[in-house]
């Protein structure tokens, strides 16, 4: 059921270890200019188990010891908690929003007014950012440095695809590709892995610089095949489907079938969660 997990496998190292079981592996990317730091960047393997605990504080008391990959909130997860989870064998990466400002963040005041756009649909405390803005990028570089100093081994920067919404700026797909390349370089230079969040339209253009993808609801929207290039490259796709009812304790057989066996989903690490990302989970 669960693939073998290989931690701390350098990108520059052979693919034999991580990809013995991967369909159609291809050589790892060599796009990062700093070979010395590449050696310590992790490459999780296809099929790595995961949960997305952004709506509750993950600790060594409520962690599932068999689940490997855990993105945690950068700001409200302590270095001590991250260290304890890592010693227990988990791969801990830091989540932050890279394409929006959340009013309640410590560094919310660091973004220039000119780079703050429209409110996100359904998230009244959150506004799109102009991802081309130099100061915005500087704040994100600081967050990546904070992720490294807290002990995270990678980053999960969210909301990088504002151009598909109504951000209030004239953002394009090329801007998002450029931003992903920037964030990935900052992460790699800090010794951290980088994961692509959503943004299915640009998968082919950035799969080489990302170590995994996180996708929300590709089964619901019948677009899982967009992320298949990650699996083909020997990189996991961490896939979550949601049940909109945050009190649900189970899902229908049809929802389960759709969430866990959609077209194009082969090899994905799939889970079902409440939209609130609380501690309820179904592992496919």
Ligand X SMILES: *[C@@H]1O[C@H](CO)[C@@H](O)[C@H](O)[C@H]1NC(C)=O
Q: Which residue ranges make up the site for ligand X (CB under 6 A)?
A: 2, 49, 54-57, 64, 66-67, 73, 76, 104, 283
> C-alpha dihedral over 193, 218, 97, 167, to 10 degrees?
130
Q: What is the three-class DSSP state of 185?
A: helix
Looking at beta carbons only, is 10 or 57 nearer to ligand X? 57
Write the CA distances from 208 to 77, 147, 203, integer angstroms.
Answer: 29, 22, 9
Looking at beta carbons only, is 76 or 164 nearer to ligand X? 76
Write the CA distances from 235 to 35, 111, 246, integer angstroms.
Answer: 20, 33, 30
Which residues, listed in sequence order, are joined to residue 92 by a DSSP beta bridge?
A: 70
Tell me the residue number closest to ligand X, measured at CB: 49
What minimum distance in Å lies between the beta carbon of 283 and ligand X?
4
Q: What is the three-class DSSP state of 191?
A: coil
Q: How far apart are CA 46 and CA 212, in angstroms?
A: 9
What minimum distance in Å lies between the beta carbon of 76 and ligand X?
4
What minimum distance in Å lies between the beta carbon of 84 and ligand X?
15
What minimum distance in Å lies between the beta carbon of 221 and ligand X?
24
Q: What is the three-class DSSP state of 241?
A: strand
Looking at beta carbons only, is 2 or 17 nearer to ligand X? 2
Looking at beta carbons only, is 186 or 277 nearer to ligand X? 277
Looking at beta carbons only, is 130 or 156 nearer to ligand X? 156
Handedness of CA 224, 230, 233, 235 (dihedral sign): negative
- Give the residue from 238, 241, 136 showing the smallest Cα distance to 186: 136
Output the six-digit token pair for 109: 């005041």
What minimum distance in Å lies between the beta carbon of 64 and ligand X?
4
What minimum distance in Å lies between the beta carbon of 268 and ligand X?
13
What minimum distance in Å lies between the beta carbon of 63 and ligand X?
9
Q: How far apart are CA 7 and CA 68, in angstroms?
A: 10
Looking at beta carbons only, is 61 or 66 nearer to ligand X? 66
Q: How far apart are CA 247 and CA 238, in angstroms?
A: 23
Looking at beta carbons only, is 45 or 49 nearer to ligand X? 49
């Amino acid at each position: 059921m669960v693939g073998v997990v290989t931690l701390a496998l350098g990108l520059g190292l052979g693919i034999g270890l991580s990809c013995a079981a991967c369909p159609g592996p291809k050589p790892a990317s060599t796009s990062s200019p700093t070979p010395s730091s590449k050696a310590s960047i992790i490459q999780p393997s296809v099929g790595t188990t995961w949960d997305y605990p952004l709506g509750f504080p993950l600790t060594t008391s409520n962690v599932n010891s068999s689940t490997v990959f855990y993105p945690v909130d950068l700001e409200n997860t302590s270095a001590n908690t991250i260290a304890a989870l890592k010693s227990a064998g988990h791969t801990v990466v830091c989540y932050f929003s890279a394409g929006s400002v959340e009013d309640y963040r410590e560094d919310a005041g660091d973004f220039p007014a000119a780079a703050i756009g429209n409110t996100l649909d359904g998230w009244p405390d959150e506004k799109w950012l102009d991802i081309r803005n130099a100061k915005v990028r500087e704040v994100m570089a600081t967050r990546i440095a904070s992720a490294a100093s807290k002990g995270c081994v990678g980053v999960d920067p969210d909301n990088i695809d504002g151009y598909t919404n109504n951000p209030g700026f004239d953002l394009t797909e090329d801007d998002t590709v450029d931003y992903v390349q920037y964030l990935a370089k900052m992460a790699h230079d800090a010794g951290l892995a980088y994961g692509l969040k959503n943004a299915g339209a640009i998968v082919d253009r950035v799969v080489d610089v990302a170590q995994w993808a996180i996708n929300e609801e590709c089964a619901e929207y019948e677009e899982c095949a967009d992320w298949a290039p990650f699996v083909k490259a020997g990189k996991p796709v961490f896939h979550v489907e949601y049940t909109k009812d945050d009190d649900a304790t189970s899902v229908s057989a049809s929802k389960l079938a759709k969430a866990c066996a959609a077209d194009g989903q082969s090899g994905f690490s799939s889970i079902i969660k409440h939209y609130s990302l609380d501690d309820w989970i179904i592992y496919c």
